[in-house]
A and B are shown apart, each in its own frame.
Chain A
């Protein structure tokens, strides 16, 4: 070979043996003769020539097993790298298959970069999955599954994206409403659907089986599993086909735009949903019921209209343009009629029974002829007298209408709390059957919000009440093929599943459901996230630490805008520090202590018990990084700054 001609000094030629991973585990290493001034790229070339294998080696690089490092600087000489004949090098692909646990609980196999820092790896994964703002996510090691997996892991459904060529991922254009690289095959299309449509409600037993943190300390242990963003997967001992979780790590979701964030929004919702179902974040009973109601709504919409979410912007334009055209064409005839209808609202007329608990004169239910019109109910002695003056007219605006239903007992009552200057009047209306009940209930619901029967929502309201009634038929003999019917225990955490029977839970979820039933799928997802974000404990990652000068373990809560010191015994917040008062923080890597200085000479220091101090450091630096993002430069990701703020020794 001609290298010698380059250097005046004759360099000793020696043998370097390199294992080529692709040749199989048993294949002997390939030995190439090299000189110390040969650069890594040259070694690779020799290797490839000698291997006699014709294929695309472009993704391959040398991994130095002993030193746990990649030799990626191909311009460096062997001497500069410090490689000698005894170095056990492995020539392997930088992108390897990884089993990725998604926020929705499903596992996806894809090719991820094992050589770049994890931060970069996550960028790559998110690009492939079409998730914007990848800096908010990271990878962590999964919680070990309980050891009764005889047949379990065989049945685990794997979605596979490994066939997607990495080069194609950078093309952002859309086909059929999904990024191009998903449109290649039916299989990848299915994967995209899995990513962008929320999963059906899990079986209550499945929820109960999963790991739930029982205490703050348990929650703290989860955070010891985050990978180091500044080092590569290989360096952190992750092997090909290992399982890792992809999760939103930093709870400040920048620039959420439903139109472009279909996958991001869906996965965020899934993470939030599981956090609530698994009691990872605490909420009150009322909040749990509302979460349950929105989940029910999202489930329902995801089954019926998944396509609207995934359509591309261009398609949307076209659709709306066409729709506009349609409306314009028939606008001449129909809309005045619509308006007329609005002016002359339809009514409901029926014999119903009424019961007013406070009126001593009326004992029990009494039957009258009822008329519902313009957000108020009037009743008459009989149908014949309905032209005259009603016995009473009740305005329902601002009232509360609650179900009092027992399907098994064929009891269909509407409990109305009607506001009046003197207070709330309680009135019960008893209907004959489901059908009648659903119409009157829907009317009452709309009227309570000041809407009339002419409102388009009336029919859908009736439908949703009927489907909820169907859910209450817990009788196993009746048909359960209806996709709408869900066990309401799947919508709440096991604590509430234990506390309430299905027939107790269902009416309460129905009640909460009324307030969200009109939301579109996107709005429902957003609403769920909003309520999640409004929880007091939202976004706090816990770590057990020991504060300097203290002898007991305490909990440090790391939130998007502040640090919280929590007393382990009582669970009380002892102190909070806000980042924007922070002057500087230092990590003493030798004694693994984090020291922070705040305005006004406030100092604190702690060592970490449950998680490595690099993880804590990265959390704090990461949140400060997140706060530097602005809307103006919304698409620039300053990776360097991230590493500066979160990196190890050399960065600070």
Chain B
């Protein structure tokens, strides 16, 4: 199958990478045949595995690459040809998505799809040929680009101290790599699983955010770096979404925070992460700052704002204008410091650090801060992450939740059909890494699962073993689980609900009340509104009810069937009845009741929705369109999906424009 080809291709590349590495070009410390024994884990540094990009491949590798490229080109050519010939019957060809599945990793869609657009409507033959030629060139160029893509071989230290080696290309996000690891480890995939880096020299640790490209931070490591990538559970990662009150209501008393209802938690998340702007917790407090160069730690009153960390200078107030900027987040990351009491004589071990990701050694450009307790440290580190990453953090969380939910459903299902051992829970071992940072210790996991789940002792390192097996598209949802399962993960979604009104508030509107207020109905007796354009004649003496004789307001019931879709625009007034008031030049003078009643009785009953109203309504949708606007087409490759019916879109747009004028 074609879609495997790419996986094979990347396998091949990975192999090449490995090959060049094992050639010993680099000063690689002799790699023990994988992490076979436990005592090895401690001494094993993460040697600079991240070296080989394809640019540096040997000549024979390039040959192989070229061959590969050619093969791909031929393949596309065939495909294009086939497509053209088999224009009408698509039976033997996969549908339009074909191009995508062919290059699953590629962020650029291949030109196979865009060219379908011109193909479908009659273009001169030469044009098609030229197009195809161009496409081929494009494809080749893309392949070249692809070849430029940086790929790293990364060793990830697992929760149990063993390690796995993966190839990561520079377009892959941490999320992608996590998914890959989930495949390999059969862990429970809960949202706490994360990748983090440690820097032993600076005694720092940082959890990567899932939207980051893993290659970026790793590229900053020095050649002789002892840094490691860890795969572990970090409860602090998304704590802010699970218990937002800890961060947003930190000033409140402990009891209020603890007794927070789930509903209120959701509301807090919504308030702070779903608005037009992300709200950063308003942290303020005295922290210790490590003085430049000196070994002393000095207390200062710090404040966190969306724009950075500030401190209050001596003798000044806390008002915004007096604050002095300590650091802004554009160019720094936040790290946990480990055992700084020892290393830097910090007042406590609850320290965090802000530094440029490139900085790997002691430097005056690193900012060290120290908190009184773990709680405060967590507050600040999380607050800084919110300020720095904003909405991405929440998006990451939602993605993780989805992933976790799917996996839970999947495991539940398999657990039912197969047997016990597949219940994963690697939690037990994660303890060691978590606690040094002052995280809450992990909840102990059931030991039963250990047998089935602990990764088998890796056999001696074989190339095939190390290469990431082509992940069988991790995003692919498993077969639909039983419905109950699908709904069951309770914490998965953060439902957006209306804030419920306090109990004593007026009841929420009934469906009737939801109907658009206008057109002004007469029966609604009050001074609140009088229709601007005519005075409803008051017929107290009429046989029928008030208002029935006049034009606009039929009883509400008659209004129900065609509820105007857009109450935002009150209906235009009903058409004036010219016969109505001959005295005045135009419409609308209220006639005295007797005369009115005569005419009114003879006149046809008011049409429920006046014609002018419906006309007005028809035009409404053109303003607030229901369908998503067509994607902006700026570059041809991106135009792929809509390419086919381009002409009809154009026609539609034309029609719309005409309709509006």
Q: Which residues of A contact B (CB under 8 A)?
A: 2, 6, 39-42, 44-45, 48-49, 54-61, 69-70, 72-77, 94-95, 113, 115-117, 120, 124, 127, 132, 166-167, 170-175, 252-253, 256, 259-260, 282-287, 290, 312-318, 320-325, 327-328, 331-333, 335-336, 339-340, 343, 398, 400, 419-424, 495, 515, 526, 529-537, 561, 571-572, 576, 579-584, 624, 627-628, 630-631, 633, 635-641, 643-645, 651
Contact = CB atoms under 8 A, between A and B. Distances in A.
Contact of B538 (A41, A58, A286): A41
Contacts of B275: 252, 533
Contacts of A627: 498-499
A645 B505 contact: yes
Interface in B250-290: 251, 264, 267, 271, 275-280, 282
A637 B567 contact: yes
A113 B145 contact: no
A387 B141 CA distance: 27
B636 A639 contact: no
A170 B572 contact: yes
Given A39-B540, A423-B365, A640 B636 contact: no
B528 A58 contact: no
A58 B308 contact: no
Interface residues of B, number: 136
A532 B315 CA distance: 28
Given A259-B629, A343-B144, A75 B661 contact: no
B70 interface: no
A291 to B, nearest CB: 10
Contact of A536 (B305, B566, B622, B653): B305
B660 A314 contact: yes
Given A167-B573, A533-B277, A42 B331 contact: no
B541 interface: yes
B276 A325 contact: no
Contacts of B532: 58-59, 94-95, 113, 124, 166
B652 A340 contact: no
A321 B629 CA distance: 11
Given A58-B533, A116-B529, A285 B567 contact: no
A422 B361 contact: yes
A70 B527 contact: yes
Contacts of B585: 54-56
B328 A321 contact: no
A316 B629 contact: yes
Given A320-B633, A323-B634, A584 B502 contact: yes
Interface of B: 114, 117-118, 127, 130-131, 133-134, 137-138, 141-142, 144-145, 148, 220, 222, 251, 264, 267, 271, 275-280, 282, 305-308, 310, 317-321, 323, 325, 328, 330-331, 356-366, 496, 498-499, 501-506, 508-509, 513-514, 516-517, 522, 525-530, 532-541, 546, 566-573, 583-594, 616, 619-620, 622-625, 629-630, 632-637, 639, 642-643, 646, 649-650, 652-654, 656-657, 659-661
Contact of A317 (B358, B522, B571, B653): B653
Given A56-B588, A167-B572, A638-B514, A2 B594 contact: yes
Given A534-B280, A584-B502, A635-B568, 14 more contacts: A41-B535, A56-B587, A74-B530, A167-B572, A282-B321, A284-B321, A320-B633, A321-B646, A325-B650, A332-B127, A398-B358, A423-B361, A531-B277, A534-B277
23 contacts: A41-B536, A73-B525, A75-B536, A75-B538, A115-B530, A170-B569, A171-B619, A173-B623, A174-B622, A175-B660, A284-B320, A285-B323, A285-B325, A315-B657, A318-B650, A321-B649, A328-B646, A339-B142, A536-B305, A576-B251, A624-B502, A641-B506, A644-B506
A117 B528 contact: yes
Contacts of B546: 75
A138 B331 CA distance: 42
Contact of A260 (B499, B587, B624): B624
A627 B616 CA distance: 30
Contact of A75 (B321, B361, B522, B623): B522
A124 to B, nearest CB: 8
Contacts of A537: 320
Contacts of A174: 622-623, 660
Contacts of A72: 527, 529-530
Contacts of A48: 583-584, 589
Contacts of B652: 317
Given A73-B527, A259-B629, A328-B636, A640 B513 contact: yes
Given A58-B588, A170-B616, A339 B276 contact: no
Contact of A313 (B365, B583, B623): B623
B138 A635 contact: no
A584 B276 contact: no
Contacts of A282: 319-321
B499 A336 contact: no
A120 B528 contact: yes
A328 B594 contact: no
Given A48-B584, A584-B502, A424 B624 contact: no
Contacts of B619: 171-173
Contacts of A533: 275-277, 279
Contacts of A638: 509, 513-514
B623 A530 contact: no
A290 B624 CA distance: 33
Contacts of B583: 48-49, 54
Nearest to A134: B568
Given A56-B584, A323-B634, A584 B498 contact: no
B537 A74 contact: yes
Most B CB contacts (10 A, CB to CB) among A127, A166, A314, A583 go to A314
A284 B568 contact: no
Contacts of A641: 506, 508-509, 513
Contacts of A424: 356, 359, 363, 365
A462 to B, nearest CB: 22
A335 B508 contact: no
Contacts of A331: 114, 134, 636
Contacts of B586: 56, 58
Given A61-B535, A316-B629, A328 B590 contact: no
Contacts of B594: 2, 6
Contacts of A94: 530, 532
A422 B220 CA distance: 11
Contacts of A77: 540
Contacts of A561: 271
Query: Shortest 9 CB-CB distances between A and B: which pairs?
Result: A423-B363, A75-B538, A419-B358, A324-B633, A584-B504, A533-B277, A58-B588, A534-B306, A317-B653
Nearest to A175: B661
A529 B657 CA distance: 32
A515 B330 contact: yes
A639 to B, nearest CB: 5
Contacts of B267: 580
B135 to A, nearest CB: 8
Contacts of B533: 58-59, 166-167
Most B CB contacts (10 A, CB to CB) among A127, A174, A320, A529 go to A320
